[in-house]
């Protein structure tokens, strides 16, 4: 089968490798229909990070058809159309029962996060609960609906997680930091939860326009103290909640800066900083929460129905489509901000 390989910073290639096989009784083999590139994939592509040369792709979002199941799998069967999340929650531990399957107690750390999804086939481990069945088959849906379903593998639940962790409530004033796919989905989530004002901090016209279509009420292009001042002018004071969807220390500082005293931060940007002092928030009663999204929980409880009913249309974040063979261009266009999110048409 074909799979994407991280050759080195700035270079993704396609390589022919053996098709995956069942290795455990709760494995599921999935034929990929759609995959995509995540903003988190760009850290290694653009900067190298600590990712080894000529190593498996870090792609972790897909739609597919179940091809084979292990003996312990009871929730899906061959032929099922499924959302393939980046997480592998068990569904039974304390964390999963509390709605935090993105940090499952039984599959801690890296064992709960998928990779290698930019491929023709996937071996999905711990597959009994985490996979989300979609009614029918891919051919039953428009391409626009397929795009929205694909967002449910990561970015839409992740944006929703930011809003949930920040406890966004009806009437709240919300600021979203980050105008990529996750930030756009955080705008959708804040609107779903009844926010009265939603400000997106963005410097890019195409992303600003999309956010306004998805529910943002205003845009702030400024950063730092100037950005904080502008937000407070628009809101008549500080925000109730800030949704940090970038993963840098500057973005966390921006989130803390725009809040009123007693405000709440939901952070879902994969952190690319080692330390950040929270002592300065003590005098302001700021609440900070976040982490890996509860993909399966949100899809089963809220998001899949919202997409199928047409209540939300997160698929708009996919602005360009590519064949798997064009994987490097898909990465490059996202890195160069020519595409908000790149979709891979695999089959």
pLDDT, tens digit, 9 for 90 and up, residues 122-155: 999 999 999 999 999 999 999 999 999 999 999 9
pLDDT of residue 308: 98
Q: How many residues does the chain have?
A: 347
Give the residue range(s) of CATH 3.90.180.10 domains in the chain.
2-154+294-345
Residue 237 — very low, low, confident or very high, per pLDDT cuts 50/70/90?
very high
Give the residue range(s) of CATH 3.40.50.720 domains in the chain.
158-290
Q: Which fold has domain 2-154+294-345?
A: Quinone Oxidoreductase; Chain A, domain 1 (3.90.180)
Residue 347 — very low, low, confident or very high, per pLDDT cuts 50/70/90?
confident
Whether the CB-CB separation of 47 and 35 falls below 8 Å is answered with no
pLDDT of residue 241: 98
**Secondary element (H or E) of residue 341:** strand 341-345
pLDDT of residue 275: 79
Q: Which CATH superfamily is domain 158-290 in?
A: NAD(P)-binding Rossmann-like Domain (3.40.50.720)
Whether the CB-CB separation of 100 and 294 falls below 8 Å is answered with yes
Q: Can you tell me which residue has the tokens 């759609």? A: 34
pLDDT one-digit tens code per residue, 177-201: 999 999 999 999 999 999 999 999 9
pTM of the predicted model as reported, rounded to 2 decimal places: 0.97
pLDDT of 50 > 90? The answer is no
Report d(CA 298, CA 14) in Å as an integer.
33
pLDDT one-digit tens code per residue, 76-130: 999 999 999 999 999 999 999 999 999 999 999 999 999 999 999 999 999 999 9
């Amino acid at each position: 089968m074909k799979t994407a390989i991280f050759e080195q910073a700035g270079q993704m290639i396609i390589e022919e490798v053996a098709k995956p096989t069942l290795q455990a009784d709760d494995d599921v083999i999935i034929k990929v229909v759609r995959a995509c590139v995540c903003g988190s994939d760009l850290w290694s592509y653009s900067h190298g990070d600590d990712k080894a040369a000529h190593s498996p792709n870090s792609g972790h979002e897909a739609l597919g058809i179940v091809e084979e199941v292990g003996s312990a799998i009871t929730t899906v069967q061959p032929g099922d159309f499924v959302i393939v999340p980046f997480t592998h929650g068990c569904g039974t531990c304390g964390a999963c029962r509390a709605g935090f399957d993105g940090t499952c107690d039984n599959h801690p750390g890296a064992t709960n996060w998928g990779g290698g999804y930019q491929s023709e086939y996937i071996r999905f481990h711990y597959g009994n609960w985490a996979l989300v069945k979609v009614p029918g088959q891919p051919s039953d849906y428009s391409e626009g609906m397929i795009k929205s379903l694909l967002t449910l593998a990561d970015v839409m639940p992740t944006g929703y997680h930011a809003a949930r962790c920040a406890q966004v409530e009806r009437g709240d004033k919300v600021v979203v930091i980050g105008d990529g796919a996750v930030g756009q989905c955080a705008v959708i989530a804040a609107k779903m939860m009844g926010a009265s004002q939603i400000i997106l901090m963005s410097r890019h016209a195409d992303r600003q326009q999309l956010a306004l279509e998805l529910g943002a009420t205003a845009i702030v292009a400024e950063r730092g103290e100037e950005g904080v001042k502008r937000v407070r002018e628009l809101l008549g004071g500080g925000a109730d909640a800030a949704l940090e969807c970038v993963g840098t220390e500057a973005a966390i500082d921006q989130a803390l800066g725009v809040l009123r005293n007693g405000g709440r931060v939901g952070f879902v940007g994969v952190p690319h900083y080692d330390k950040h002092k929270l002592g300065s928030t003590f005098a302001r009663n700021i609440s900070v929460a976040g982490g890996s999204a509860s993909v399966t929980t949100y899809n089963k409880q809220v998001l899949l129905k919202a997409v199928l009913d047409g209540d939300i249309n997160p698929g708009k974040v996919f602005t360009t489509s590519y064949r798997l063979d064009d994987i490097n261009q898909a990465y490059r266009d996202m890195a160069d901000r020519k595409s908000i999110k790149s979709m891979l048409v695999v089959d």
